[in-house]
């Protein structure tokens, strides 16, 4: 073989093949440069045509959102680590707004605020993307909220009912059980077909890991999407995360599915937006929040609704969480969210310290949808529960003065104490509708009046087991939404009374 043949085979032929595979194209892009960068915000200059909220691309794969558009410079919210960026670095337009992947491939996955997987289980198997900022459904596309969303928590399902498509605020001081209630609501949807999204905003990594572990233990992770923008992430990611999570939920709602979304929590979301606004030199208002702080939450929560059948028939139920300081529910961000949502579940630190768990203050909590979403059996049993419990608390406060009490007042105090014990519930203890109805009926009808408060939990378990065992047909009808007639009510009371008497006789025989 000649030298020319050797060179042709080893050098020229590979070069020829490489030349054939080269696709020479002229790519046009509008380039700008960074003037200054730091703390989640960059000031750039050089763009001649840029739209508000347009996505721009920095070096190292970092993205940003064009926010403040001025003639001489543009303020960009950086969706990543600004420590890797330097003044003078180039950035380019993308021609699109911020969007995230959507679809069933996200179920069971943990993603960041831009929909990128962070659970180590590989890339997402979906090509469909939708923008994070979308208009809320118009009023004519919305249907009334009339289907209950059972949380499995007696105090909520009986006194503060939540419907599919409702926006119910969960608020209280830190460490009072707000996240526990939201996670229990997700876990209780295991047999309802409701999909769930948990959006963690500004949370510690350990707290998010604990939530993921609880969902995995409860068998709920495979029907849940976890969107995480942690406290160590850029404030831009914390700001975008709830909108991205809502877009993922809206994809299922448009297909006729029912979705539950938890924003944990919007206090940190508001603080992240305040930080970005101050860095972008926007005029501060009350408590240094920008003037549009109300709008960023209203445009988010207005996307939660129940659609009419001709528009898909799906629903999106929102459970935003907000943290209060020293029980001040009239602070700026809590009052904003109270006015946006359809009710609130207030968790009292005083009840928490007394061991009344969940620490739900029934008197302060409210559901503006009310009994319209309750099953008929619930309405028959718990219709006057809020009024009776409020009267009991007022009587209890007067009884502490040691005044002489008449028989009627003593009966109300005794019964109220039993109702308070019945409303206690362990974390992750989910009760179906017949079990809740049986417990509440036993307490309100006086079947537990002769039982010591410490023994109420055992008596509750007794009556629930008896109703499930001896009245299975009635339990099935109650769960299916049938009316609770007077005969049904009498049958339940008789069954529970026999079970309690049998339990008492068994205890007496054991003591003897």
Contact assessment for residue 302 and residue 150, using Cβ atoms and an 8 Å cutoff:
no
Beta bridge partners of 418: none
Distance of CA 141 to the CA centre of its chain: 23
- Read out DSSP for 193-214? --EEEEEEES--HHHHHHHHHH
Interatomic CA distance for residues 106 and 117, integer angstroms: 9
Interatomic CA distance for residues 109 and 122, integer angstroms: 10
Q: Show the tokens assigned to 247.
A: 């877009």
For residue 315, give the 3-state DSSP assignment: strand
CA 388, 389, 395, 399 dihedral sign is positive
Q: What is the DSSP letter of 223?
A: G
Contact assessment for residue 416 and residue 392, using Cβ atoms and an 8 Å cutoff:
yes
Beta bridge partners of 343: 367
Cα atoms found within 13 Å of the Cα of residue 165, Cβ hemisphere only: 23
Residue in the structure block whose two tokens are 């993922």: 248
Q: Is 282 in the active site?
A: no
Helical axes 266-279 vs 332-340, angle rounded to 10°: 120
Cα atoms found within 13 Å of the Cα of residue 130, Cβ hemisphere only: 16
**Annotated catalytic residue, options 204, 368, 410, 498:** 368
Q: Show the tokens assigned to 7.
A: 């060179």
Interatomic CA distance for residues 430 and 419, integer angstroms: 18
Interatomic CA distance for residues 3 and 475, integer angstroms: 92
Diameter of the chain by CA atoms? Answer: 121
What is the 3-state composition of the chain as percent helix, strand, coil, each rounded to the nearest 5? 45, 20, 35
Catalytic residues: 368
């Amino acid at each position: 073989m000649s030298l020319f043949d050797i060179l042709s085979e080893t050098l020229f032929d590979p070069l020829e093949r490489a030349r054939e595979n080269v696709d020479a194209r002229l790519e046009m892009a509008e380039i700008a440069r960074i003037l200054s960068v730091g703390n989640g915000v960059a000031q750039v200059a050089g763009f001649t045509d840029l739209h508000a909220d347009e996505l721009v691309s920095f070096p190292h794969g970092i993205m940003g959102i064009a926010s403040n558009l001025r003639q001489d410079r543009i303020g960009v919210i950086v969706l990543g680590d600004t420590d890797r960026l330097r003044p003078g670095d180039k950035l380019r337009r993308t021609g699109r707004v911020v969007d995230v992947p959507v679809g069933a491939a996200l179920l069971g996955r943990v993603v960041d605020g831009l929909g990128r997987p962070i659970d180590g289980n590989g890339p997402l198997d979906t090509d469909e993307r939708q923008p994070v900022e979308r208009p809320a459904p118009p009023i004519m596309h919305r249907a009334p909220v009339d289907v209950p969303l059972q949380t499995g928590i007696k105090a909520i399902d009986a006194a503060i009912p939540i419907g599919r498509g409702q926006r119910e605020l969960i608020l209280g001081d830190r460490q009072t059980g707000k996240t526990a209630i939201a996670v229990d609501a997700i876990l209780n949807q295991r047999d309802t077909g409701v999909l769930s999204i948990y959006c963690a905003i500004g949370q510690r990594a350990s707290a998010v890991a604990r939530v993921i572990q609880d969902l995995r233990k409860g068998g709920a992770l495979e029907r849940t999407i976890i969107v995480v923008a942690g406290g160590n992430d850029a404030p831009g990611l914390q700001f975008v995360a709830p909108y991205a999570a809502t877009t993922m939920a809206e994809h299922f709602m448009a297909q006729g599915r029912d979705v539950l979304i938890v924003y944990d929590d919007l206090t940190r979301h508001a603080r992240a937006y305040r930080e970005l606004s101050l860095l972008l030199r926007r005029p501060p208002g009350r408590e240094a929040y920008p003037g549009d702080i109300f709008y960023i939450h209203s445009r988010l929560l207005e996307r939660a609704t129940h659609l009419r059948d001709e528009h898909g028939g799906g629903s999106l139920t929102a459970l935003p969480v907000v943290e209060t300081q020293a029980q001040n529910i009239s602070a700026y961000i809590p009052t904003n969210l109270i006015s946006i949502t359809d009710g609130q579940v207030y968790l009292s630190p005083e009840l928490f310290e007394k061991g009344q768990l969940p620490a739900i203050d029934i008197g302060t909590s409210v559901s503006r949808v009310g009994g319209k979403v309750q099953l008929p059996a619930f309405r028959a049993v718990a219709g006057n529960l809020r009024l009776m419990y409020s009267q009991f608390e007022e009587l209890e406060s007067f009884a502490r003065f040691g005044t002489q009490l008449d028989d009627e007042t003593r009966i109300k105090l005794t019964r109220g104490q039993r109702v308070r014990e019945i409303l206690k519930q362990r974390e992750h203890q989910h009760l179906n509708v017949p079990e809740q109805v049986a417990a509440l009926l036993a307490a309100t009808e006086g079947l537990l009046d002769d039982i010591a408060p410490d023994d109420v939990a055992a008596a509750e378990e007794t009556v629930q087991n008896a109703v499930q065992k001896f009245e299975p047909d009635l339990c099935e009808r109650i769960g299916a939404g049938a009316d609770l007639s007077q005969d049904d009510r009498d049958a339940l009371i008789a069954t529970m009374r026999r079970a309690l008497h049998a339990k008492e006789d068994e205890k007496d025989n054991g003591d003897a």
